Amino acid sequence: MTYTVVFMGTPKFAVPILEALIADPNYQVKAVVTQPDRPQGRKHVLTPTPVKVAAVAHDLLVLQPEKLAGSDAMAQVMAMVPDFIVTAAFGQFLPTGLLEAAKIAAVNTHASLLPKYRGGAPVHYAIMNGDAETGVSIMYMVKQMDAGDVIDVVKVPITAQDNVGTMFDKLSLAGRDLLLATLPRIANGDTTPVPQAESEVSFSPNISHAQQNLNFAQETAQEIDWHIRGLYPTHPAYVQVGGQRMKLTQVTPLPETTTLAPGHIVARTKKLLTIAAANQSVVQIDQLQPAGKSVMPIQAYLNGAGSHLAAGQQWAEEPSHE
């Protein structure tokens, strides 16, 4: 039997999931709903979402409502009466009427181990909080955000080398495989959905500009590492250095300690820069991006703009409150 599907998603994370449904002969994707094209980059070029690019490549019907509720796109989807509505990081609430239009089920592929990290940035928070693992939950959709009963989960370890980019790639493939294994079970009534424990709910709201600002006086070396990896490459973290914004893209927490004040240079050689952080901890700067420049290894920075630096100097300044 072939099941009809309306797919709803927006970022790169959702693309392998969509493409798997397209490639599987058991499913017919009737339409793809994604966010409208948005201006991107310094030149504000109107850019389609990754999901739209994939859908267009497969000649699928693409719907892009600014707001789904009450839209023509919603009416079109409801008129299709699909077997499944499948979402993956779509970015909008689905009205109850739309959820009920699915003949079998409306399900969401959510990149966390629910009920932990409901919301729009679950992968960011998992890494920023130093979690050892995260995962993907397949859940029935309800009108409340990420609150439906969980059908199945898959766990994925977070390594010391992972950042948001690498984890999105891993979770996307894990979610793809879990969804394809779960949909037939849903169709056959072979699932035991688990209600989410409200006492264990936590949230992951979209990343704010203020969250990108590192604070060496309040964060230990390990916390700085988690902070940077939890934002890169989607929302790079930064410090103020010489009054300029310096993005930090890769660091290493060191086992040593220091009596220097946070933000001061502990050691500086031709290839090494270490900085004091909170609780007398020390972090090694491996890769950074000065304002208006490309990402560079620390050696390139020390040979150029950082050639004047010396141990004992203040490097990372107090966070700005813009």
Indicate the annotated binding residues for (6S)-5,6,7,8-tetrahydrofolate.
112-115
Structure tokens at 118: 């409901």
Structure tokens at 322: 């813009």
Please confirm whether the linkage preceding 115 is cis (ω < 30° from 0).
yes
Task: Report the DSSP pairing between strands 150-157 and 237-241.
Answer: unpaired
Contact 287, 296 (CB under 8 A): yes
Handedness of CA 136, 138, 139, 144 (dihedral sign): positive
Contact 195, 210 (CB under 8 A): no
| DSSP β-bridge partners for residue 285 | 251
- Binding site: what residues are annotated? 112-115
